[in-house]
Amino acid sequence: MQGALRTIQVDLTSANAIPAIIAALGGDRVSGLVNNAGLLMRRSFGNWTMADLEEVFRVNAHLPFMLAQALCGHFTDPRAHVVNIASMGGFQGAAKFPGLAGYSASKAALVGYTECLAEEMKQHGVHCNCLALGAVDTEMFREAFPEYQAPVSATEVGKFIARFALEGHNLFNGKVLPLALSTP
């Protein structure tokens, strides 16, 4: 994977999110994709609505899957790599927290999509893996857990994700890897 790194920030709640990303590429080829979508929704049990769950699943799971599918024809070489960013909340056997059922379940769905994408895309030479993040000092984490100090900075994790996007496909395909020193 060589060339320039390009970040494209798009509001995934918009109906035109995927067409906007395709348009932003302007026909350029893609050698990797990091799906870092995240919509945090906190509801006490008994207060979730179907609309809440549909929105959190759409942003956190369905749209990353649809984006990888839409970009499949744009990937440049057999070393192309899709990296989905999930959460330890969506990692089987990890701690779960009250109020975050929709978020955690949507990230678990992204984990499942990752395993399926690896199988679907391998005929195109594209690898797909997932990193399940634990406590990382981000605005979203501080919103979810205001009383807890994350032990890892967003910059440290960002560097790891960038390196993994460039090199992780050499060792992994269809894997879900926990990236956590702790969860609250």
CA atoms within 13 A of residue 173's CA, in its CB half-sphere: 16
Per the CB < 8 A criterion, the answer to whether 177 and 130 are in contact is yes
d(CA 69, CA 177): 22
Helix (H) or strand (E) holding 141: helix 139-144
Q: Is 148 a catalytic residue?
A: no
Q: Is 145 helix (H, G, I), strand (E, B) or coil?
A: coil
Out of 65, 103, 141, 172, the active site residue is 103
Q: Decide the pairing of beta strands 81-87 and 127-133.
A: parallel
* Catalytic (active-site) positions: 103
